[in-house]
Each structure stands twice: as C-alpha cells, then as structure tokens.
Structure 1
C-alpha cells in the first residue's frame, strides 16, 4: 500500500494555476520579464556610451579633417607645390558631431534665457 506524504507546498503553487490552466502563460510571463530586463540593460549601456561621447566632445571638440587626414594641405602630383584643404581651410581640424549637438543645446538654452518676455517688471 502506497502512502502519500503530507507536503507544505499547496497544489496551486506547484502547478501554476494562478496563471490559468495554460502552461504557456508562465513561459510568456517569464519571457516578457527577461525581455524587459534586457531592454533596460541595453538602454543603460547606450545612455552611458552617449554620455561618455558627449563628455569627450566637450573636452576635445575637434577631430582630424577627413578629407586631408589632419594635414591641412594637399600636395601636387609632382610634390613641389601644395594647396590648402577646402573643407578645413588648411587647419586640418573639423568640429566633431557631438560638439555640434552641444553647441546647439547651448544655443537653445541661451535663446530661452535671453528672451524678452520674462514677465512684467
């Protein structure tokens, strides 16, 4: 004769009946939780990378000119004469994309602070 031992775990907790009779509901809930966690992790990483890039653009606003590779001039085919790069005007530098974003944010903020409609004084 087989005897059943009494357990302290209720039947509902072992068979996930709180999610319904469909066992795929538990898998769907688990997948949704994992997906939300992964999305949050990716967003956090992207936010940190963008913040770091903007910080580097704040400290080092210029990069090498892509056309002349930072030299500022081009040599003639025979190597005796040179001309200045038309893109960077001979400086060899360009303003980085992140610095353009920072400059735009500063201009928008400055325009809001310098508005003439600050109230009736």
Structure 2
C-alpha cells in the first residue's frame, strides 16, 4: 500500500520564480490603481451632480415635520407650526450650504480687477 502525505504541496507554490511573482505584483498594483482611479472618478461625478441639483433645487422637505410645516395635536383638531422650519416645511440642503460658503469666501477675496486701485 503506497503512502502519500495527507496534504500535498503543489510544485508551483514551492518552486515559483521570483521574476514571475514580481510581474504578478506589478500587475495587481496596476489593477488596483486603475480601480482606485475609477472609484475616484465616479465619486467626483456623483458629487458634481449633487451640487448641480442643489444649485437648481436648494430646498428639501423638513425632516422633523416631513414637509407639512405643522403638527396636529393629540387631542382635537388644533395645529402648531414646526419649530425647525418655522412652518414652511422646507430646509436648506447641505450642498446648497456648501455652495453658499464657497460664494461668500470667494466674494470676500481681494480681486484687483473689480476694485479700485488701493494706495
């Protein structure tokens, strides 16, 4: 009865060439860089699309009152205005706040072409 080891070790794993494994590592690195670049491009595109939609539609529904602007009392038919949106039912989106911050920061900068010469 022939005896064989319980776990066979593949010959390719024990006798691989160093150059072949280095080429494999460079290929894997190139693939991971390409994937990272693709993910970065997709994230940039999504962020640009979100900022564009925030520029066109700056308001969203209030999350507290779900866009209604008022709350019904538990007893009867009385209503009260939402404290977060002051009864409008709207809130300013985060992207619109970012756009406003960028505009304010840019307008506060010193632009020599639009201002009179300083002495």
Task: Tell me whether 1:104 sits opposite 2:101 in the alignment.
Answer: yes
Look up the match of 1:55. Answer: 52
**Runs ≥4 residues deviating over 3 A:** 117-121
Q: For residues 36 and 88 of structure 1, what CA distance do their matches in structure 2 show?
A: 45
- Structure 2, unaligned runs of 5 or more: 1-16
TM-score, normalised with respect to structure 1: 0.76
- Structure 1, unaligned runs of 5 or more: 1-19
Look up the match of 2:79. Answer: 82
TM-score, normalised with respect to structure 2: 0.78
Look up the match of 1:22. Answer: 19
Report how far residue 78 of structure 1 moved. 2.0
Task: Tell me whether 1:41 sits opposite 2:25 in the alignment.
Answer: no
Q: Number of paired residues?
A: 101
Q: Deviations over 1:35-58 (max 9, x none)?
A: 010000000000000000000000
